[in-house]
Chain A
Amino acid sequence: MRAFALRALGLLVLLLALLVCGVVAAQPASDDDSAASDDDSASDDDSAASDDDSAGDDDSAPSKDIASTESAEVDAVTGEAEAAEEGGAVRSEQWFGSADTEEGVPWGYFTLLLLILTTGGLMLYFTKQAQAGKEMFIRRMPGIDAIEDGIGRATEMGKPVLYVPGIDDLQDIQTIASMLILGQVSKTIAEYQCELIVSCCVPIVREVADEVVRAGFYQAGYPDAFRPEEIRFIAADQFAFCAGTNGIMLREKPATNIYLGRFFAESLILAETGYLNRSIQIAGTAEATQLPFFVAACDYTLIGEELFAVSAYLSRDPRLVSSLKASDYLKVAIVTALLVGTILASFGNTLMVDLFSLTLPGN
């Protein structure tokens, strides 16, 4: 009951805000009798986008209301049309598609909408499945073996493993993936009774890494082996962090370095120091500009999405698994479209090309 009241209150506030905003912001035109009839198509679109959501029905209301109330109010305020008329701004009366195609809506707009809705639908479906505990197949990547081998080697040599979770904030999806992998890595390390150093560039990431590693050691059954002082905050600045991490490599000589997360210009400096140290190096990032340097200087590199796939495989986090699954399905669809489209195009049929076109043919 309370939740409902709050929701209603929230809606009310929003409605009010949007109303005022719409009314005042709209620069009235003299003739807009057609607007009322067109309103429906606008809110259709809104509710279409929200179809996937359980809360969809009460939320499509404000946009519907705003559209109709707005047009009513606007008629009343007619008169202060300014600036734009000698400006090139042609006010579009179109409710769907691009602004200047009065002749029709290009197919691309429908394809785009369909793509968004399909991705959303698949994602929600897979999230439900994952939450229900259904096993979903993700292939085991060689990168996982590489990480385990690296930890094994460090254990044999009696030297630590260095883990660097990138230099971006915690919100970044790559950092999140890295933290999930760190959980698994720390568990394996605890089981092998090896040492782990984590070197962080963001204070909050250090805190989370601390939690994650603590949990990993606990799950492995060695909570006493966990040493919080080995989860280190080096420096918040990029190059200072880089110099500090290099220092760790030179002094403590880790046998294995794992760089997973979002890296920028420091990637090659870290990888070089690690190489000279004769460490096994495993890297992974979705930052395309830094991947070349990792590939050239590290023993194994997770490229782009492989990073997310490994974290989904290891953590089984429903968010990652569902995203991965949804995009897998769409990729197959896109590959099919590409092959069929090329064949069609080569025979002079532009159907597929038009389907993905945001302009009408001939524009």
Chain B
Amino acid sequence: MLDLLLRFQAMDRRWVFLGMAISIVVPMLLPFNLPFKVDGRVQDLYDRVEALEAGDAVYISADFDPGSRPELEPFFRTHLHHLFRKDVRVVMGTLWPTAPPLVKPILEEIAGEYDKEYGRDWTFLGYIDGRELAIKSLGQSVRKTYPLDDRGNKTADLPVMLGLDAIRDFDILTSVSAGFPGTQAYVLQIQGQYNLEMASACTAVSAPDYIPYYQSGQLFGLSGGMPGSAQYEKLVYADTPEENRPRLAATSGMNVLSVGHMYIIVLLFLGNLAFFLTRGGKED
């Protein structure tokens, strides 16, 4: 037994890689569906968005790039569906240079599905550099930070911006954040200063880091990684019949994630088992 384990450990690590690949691909080819619960952080996020009224305004900071797409794009898409379904005005900008070609087409596509008009119901303001400085500037005035939208129109002239200038004029600020600059920078720079109602969807890596902000009320909701996205999908599409739903990427990913996690846990366990069994004999 121990021998086998040790031989296992001594083998080329590429076999472990192969095992990982198999535990991802197999559940993908043979899909199964296990139910999961929604945690309080995502529920709070959903409830607050649900409480919005038609005509309210939401600022989305879409700070992610293709590198974290599987974690955040499902949330992002579902959030847009949710907002447009509630007839909310959507204004979006980004602090990541590689984000616009990814996020703008998605916004355009989903706005199109709801027959929303550019400039009146939604707008994309484009990319702004300057990290914390840009965030501070958004706190003072969105119109000044983005004098022109992505299509070259004057931001101040857009009907969607009526009555909106500083970021606290928006009812909600959502930060879809894959790292820096993102949620943390927003929380530090302007959330406290203007007492903003802010929610965040972040990658799993940053989720434990942002939980204190949720606990302290700096964020009213938090969706972490693929499970967060899947839970949000579950809430938003609860009443939508199966055939009308778009593909729920995070929900279908959850089962694959299950198998992947189990694989890692088993590896951790076996590795440590070998460690403890050999430690007694090898002490010198």
Direct contact of A and B (CB under 8 A): yes
Chain A residues in contact with chain B, CB under 8 A?
83-84, 86-89, 98-100, 288-289, 358-359, 363
State whether B164 touches A358 (Cβ < 8 A): no
Query: Which residue on B lies nearest to A112, using beta carbons?
Result: B192
Q: Which of A83, A86, A100, A289 has the most CB of B within 10 A?
A: A83
Q: Is B143 an interface residue (CB 8 A)?
A: yes
Q: How far is the CA of A100 from the CA of B163 in the complex (A)?
A: 17
State whether A358 touches B163 (Cβ < 8 A): no
A358 and B169 in contact, given A86-B162, A88-B163, A89-B141 (Cβ under 8 angstroms): no
Q: Is B134 an interface residue (CB 8 A)?
A: no
What 0/1 pattern do residues 195 to 230 of B give for CB contact below 8 A with A? 100000000011001000000000000000000000
Query: B162 to chain A: which residues have CB within 8 Å?
Result: 86
Query: Which residue on B lies nearest to A289, using beta carbons?
Result: B205
Closest Cβ of chain B to A333, distance in Å, is 20
State whether A98 touches B205 (Cβ < 8 A): no
Query: A288 to chain B: which residues have CB within 8 Å?
Result: 209
A88 and B169 in contact, given A83-B143, A98-B193, A99-B194 (Cβ under 8 angstroms): yes
Looking at the complex, which one of B169, B195, B205, B206 makes contact with A89 (CB distance below 8 Å)? B169
Query: A83 to chain B: which residues have CB within 8 Å?
Result: 143, 156, 165
State whether A86 touches B163 (Cβ < 8 A): yes
Closest Cβ of chain A to B19, distance in Å, is 16
Chain A interface main SS type: loop
Chain B residues in contact with chain A, CB under 8 A?
141, 143, 156, 161-166, 168-169, 192-195, 205-206, 209
State whether A98 touches B194 (Cβ < 8 A): yes
Query: B156 to chain A: which residues have CB within 8 Å?
Result: 83, 87
Q: How far is the CA of A288 from the CA of B212 in the complex (A)?
A: 14
- Contacts A84-B141, A289-B205, A358-B192 given; 18 further ones with Cβ under 8 A? A83-B143, A83-B165, A84-B143, A84-B165, A86-B162, A86-B163, A87-B156, A87-B163, A87-B164, A88-B163, A88-B164, A88-B165, A88-B169, A89-B169, A98-B194, A99-B194, A288-B209, A358-B193
Q: How far is the CA of A332 from the CA of B89 in the complex (A)?
A: 47
24 A-B pairs (CB sep. < 8 Å) = A83-B156, A84-B143, A84-B165, A86-B162, A86-B163, A87-B161, A87-B163, A87-B164, A87-B169, A88-B164, A88-B166, A88-B169, A89-B165, A89-B166, A89-B169, A98-B194, A99-B168, A99-B194, A288-B209, A289-B206, A289-B209, A358-B193, A358-B195, A359-B195
Q: How far is the CA of A86 from the CA of B205 in the complex (A)?
A: 42
Closest Cβ of chain A to B138, distance in Å, is 13
Closest Cβ of chain A to B113, distance in Å, is 29
Query: Which residue on A lies nearest to B179, using beta carbons?
Result: A289
Query: A88 to chain B: which residues have CB within 8 Å?
Result: 163-166, 169
Q: How far is the CA of A363 from the CA of B194 in the complex (A)?
A: 12
Closest Cβ of chain B to A45, distance in Å, is 15
Q: How far is the CA of A359 from the CA of B165 in the complex (A)?
A: 22
Query: Which residue on B lies nearest to A25, using beta carbons?
Result: B144
The 6 residue pairs across chains A and B that have the minimum distance between CB atoms:
A88-B169, A87-B165, A89-B165, A83-B156, A88-B163, A358-B192
Q: Which of B164, B166, B205 has the most CB of A within 10 A?
A: B166
Q: How far is the CA of A112 from the CA of B196 in the complex (A)?
A: 19
Closest Cβ of chain A to B202, distance in Å, is 12
The number of A-B residue pairs with CB atoms under 8 Å apart is: 39
State whether B195 touches A98 (Cβ < 8 A): yes
Q: Which of A84, A86, A87 has the most CB of B within 10 A?
A: A87
Q: How far is the CA of A86 from the CA of B162 in the complex (A)?
A: 7
Query: A359 to chain B: which residues have CB within 8 Å?
Result: 195
Closest Cβ of chain A to B225, distance in Å, is 13
Closest Cβ of chain A to B56, distance in Å, is 13
Query: Which residue on A lies nearest to B10, using beta carbons?
Result: A276
Query: B163 to chain A: which residues have CB within 8 Å?
Result: 86-88
Query: Which residue on A lies nearest to B161, using beta carbons?
Result: A87
Q: How far is the CA of A89 from the CA of B166 in the complex (A)?
A: 6
Closest Cβ of chain A to B133, distance in Å, is 16
Closest Cβ of chain A to B147, distance in Å, is 10
Closest Cβ of chain B to A24, distance in Å, is 13
Query: B161 to chain A: which residues have CB within 8 Å?
Result: 87
Closest Cβ of chain A to B204, distance in Å, is 11
Query: A289 to chain B: which residues have CB within 8 Å?
Result: 205-206, 209
Query: Which residue on B lies nearest to A108, using beta carbons?
Result: B192
Closest Cβ of chain B to A273, distance in Å, is 10
A87 and B194 in contact, given A288-B209, A289-B205 (Cβ under 8 angstroms): no
Query: Which residue on B lies nearest to A89, using beta carbons?
Result: B165
Closest Cβ of chain B to A26, distance in Å, is 13
Query: B195 to chain A: which residues have CB within 8 Å?
Result: 98, 100, 358-359, 363
Q: How far is the CA of A87 from the CA of B189 in the complex (A)?
A: 22
Query: B169 to chain A: which residues have CB within 8 Å?
Result: 87-89
Closest Cβ of chain A to B217, distance in Å, is 10
Q: Which of B168, B194, B195 has the most CB of A within 10 A?
A: B195
Q: How far is the CA of A359 from the CA of B216 in the complex (A)?
A: 13
Query: Which residue on B lies nearest to A359, using beta carbons?
Result: B195
Q: How far is the CA of A83 from the CA of B165 in the complex (A)?
A: 9
Query: A86 to chain B: which residues have CB within 8 Å?
Result: 162-163
Closest Cβ of chain B to A337, distance in Å, is 15
Q: How far is the CA of A289 from the CA of B206 in the complex (A)?
A: 8
Query: Which residue on B lies nearest to A272, using beta carbons?
Result: B13
Closest Cβ of chain B to A253, distance in Å, is 17
Q: How far is the CA of A154 from the CA of B47 in the complex (A)?
A: 59
Q: How far is the CA of A99 from the CA of B161 in the complex (A)?
A: 21
Query: A87 to chain B: which residues have CB within 8 Å?
Result: 143, 156, 161, 163-165, 169
Closest Cβ of chain B to A123, distance in Å, is 21
Query: B166 to chain A: which residues have CB within 8 Å?
Result: 88-89
Closest Cβ of chain A to B21, distance in Å, is 18
